[in-house]
């Protein structure tokens, strides 16, 4: 049986988050400290002070690290509410890549690593980066193409390679670097100001809401003490799986909130604005778009909740999270696109949040596995399942 029963603390946190986003965060959406490569460090600190005061900082992390130790279902409810403003997850310290990194550190870091790296990250006083993707024919959709290498030299590892599209690297305190160690991969914890880390440039990108933007980074003889191997050496690909499903799903949660915001703005416009003698929503072409949005928001929410429940039941939810990510990215993008259309010319202006949500959500169809890669891998599973079950039998 699938159980979606809502806990009292989940409902309380949802209501408090909704109020916090509406009363405190949304007024910051026109703040001049929002630059082309994300909000300034001062703005991030100010937003987090507000979240801290409201008891809403990093609600998803275990109590030991200052959160509420929410399960995945409860996290889904709270993160959806946080996503109602593009600044909400950042304010509440539950945005990418920090939120995924906190989850990974909590699951695999040593006690000393948790004290040094996880504690300040969960407290919202530092930011982090996750360095996996590579230019120059290295790892992208296919992680097996990982070309950054690390070799042991005494009690240090020496890392060489290039990474790109690394979110939040500028201004991050530390990073988790994925490198090849022989036939395996290993994750390393490194200070981002270490000698050997060169930020070549911050890319100009469609999305601008994440602090530090997305960087191209050269790792040039980076020396990492053996004590800063995250967890254990040669476990990098396995740890990537530990991060993968929950981190994919939290993206779906946050973007669901943003799509709901765009939908609410579009419904409001369609009910007030008239054309040809009646409100836009009474024209079937508009009303059906909004009705379809309503259905698809519910479908997506249920898919997120189902996958979260599967994780809470102890499953790795590899297939479910792949389906949820693929479906959410495509569906939420289409919902927001319809909202732009319903708003007419207003939809492409910065007078509402809809145009920014539309621009920001586009990349979600690419990161954490492009849509086509999820479909391809689901099709491979189908083929394998057919190979196992269809011997001698045809439908």
Ligand X SMILES: Cc1cc2nc3c(=O)[nH]c(=O)nc-3n(C[C@H](O)[C@H](O)[C@H](O)COP(=O)(O)OP(=O)(O)OC[C@H]3O[C@@H](n4cnc5c(N)ncnc54)[C@H](O)[C@@H]3O)c2cc1C
User: Residue 154 Cβ, how far from ligand X at the closest point, in Å?
Assistant: 28
User: Residue 329 Cβ, how far from ligand X at the closest point, in Å?
Assistant: 11
Secondary structure, 3-state, 120-165: HHHCCCCCEEEECCCCCCCCCCCHHHCCCEEEEECCEEEEEEEEEE
Return the number of other C-beta atoms located less than 10 Å from residue 244's C-beta: 20
Q: Per the omega criterion (within 30 degrees of 0), is the bond before 97 cis?
A: yes
Torsion over CA of 332, 373, 98 and 168, rounded to 10 degrees?
-90
Q: Which token pair is 2? A: 């699938």
Q: How far is CA 106 from CA 7, 41, 110, 123, 185, in A?
A: 23, 25, 9, 14, 20
Q: Give the C-alpha separation, 130 to 34, whole Å.
A: 23
User: Residue 19 Cβ, how far from ligand X at the closest point, in Å?
Assistant: 30
Decide: helix, strand or coil at residue 6: coil
CB closer to ligand X, 247 vs 266: 247
Q: Which residue is nearest to ligand X (CB)?
A: 140
CB closer to ligand X, 132 vs 340: 132
Cα 389 off chain centre by: 36
Decide: helix, strand or coil at residue 222: strand
CB closer to ligand X, 131 vs 192: 131
Return the number of other C-beta atoms located less than 10 Å from residue 285's C-beta: 9
User: Residue 364 Cβ, how far from ligand X at the closest point, in Å?
Assistant: 8
Residues of this chain that interact with ligand X (CB under 6 A) are: 97, 130-133, 140-141, 165-167, 207, 214, 363, 366-367, 370, 372-373, 376
User: Residue 285 Cβ, how far from ligand X at the closest point, in Å?
Assistant: 31
CB closer to ligand X, 323 vs 366: 366
CB closer to ligand X, 297 vs 363: 363
CB closer to ligand X, 243 vs 301: 243
User: Residue 388 Cβ, how far from ligand X at the closest point, in Å?
Assistant: 22
């Amino acid at each position: 049986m699938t159980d979606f029963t809502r806990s009292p603390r989940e409902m309380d946190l949802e209501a408090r988050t909704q109020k916090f986003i509406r009363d405190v965060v949304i007024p910051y959406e026109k703040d001049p400290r929002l630059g082309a490569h994300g909000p300034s460090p001062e703005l991030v600190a100010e937003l987090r002070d507000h979240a801290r005061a409201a008891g809403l900082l990093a609600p998803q992390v275990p109590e030991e690290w200052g959160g509420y130790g929410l399960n995945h279902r409860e996290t889904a409810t709270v993160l959806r509410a946080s996503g109602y403003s593009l600044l909400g997850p950042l304010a509440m310290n539950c945005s990418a890549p920090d939120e995924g990194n906190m989850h990974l550190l909590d699951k695999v870091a040593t006690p000393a690593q948790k004290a040094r790296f996880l504690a300040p990250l969960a407290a919202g006083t530092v930011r982090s980066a996750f360095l996996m993707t590579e230019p120059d024919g290295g790892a992208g959709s296919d992680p097996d193409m990982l070309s950054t290498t690390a070799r042991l030299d005494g009690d240090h590892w020496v890392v060489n390679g290039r990474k790109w599209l690394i979110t939040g690297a500028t201004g991050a305190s530390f990073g988790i670097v994925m490198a090849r160690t022989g036939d395996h991969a290993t994750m390393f914890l490194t200070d981002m100001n270490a000698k050997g880390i060169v930020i070549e440039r911050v890319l100009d990108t469609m999305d601008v809401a994440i602090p530090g933007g997305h960087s191209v980074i050269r790792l040039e003889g980076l020396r990492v003490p053996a004590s800063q191997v995250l967890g254990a050496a040669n476990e990098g690909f396995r740890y990537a799986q530990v991060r993968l499903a929950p981190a994919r799903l939290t993206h779906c949660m946050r973007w669901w909130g943003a799509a709901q915001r765009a939908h609410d703005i579009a419904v409001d416009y369609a009910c007030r604005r008239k054309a040809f003698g009646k409100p836009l929503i009474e024209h079937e072409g508009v009303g059906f778009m909004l009705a379809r949005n309503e259905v698809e928001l519910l479908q997506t929410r249920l898919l997120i909740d189902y996958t979260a429940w599967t994780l809470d039941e102890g499953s790795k939810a590899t297939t479910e999270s792949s389906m949820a990510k693929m479906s959410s990215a495509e569906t939420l993008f289409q919902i927001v696109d319809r909202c732009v259309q319903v708003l007419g010319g207003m939809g492409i202006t910065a007078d509402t949040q809809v145009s920014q949500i539309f621009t920001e959500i586009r990349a979600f169809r690419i990161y954490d596995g492009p849509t086509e890669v999820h479909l391809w891998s689901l099709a491979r599973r189908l083929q394998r399942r057919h190979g196992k079950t269809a011997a001698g039998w045809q439908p």
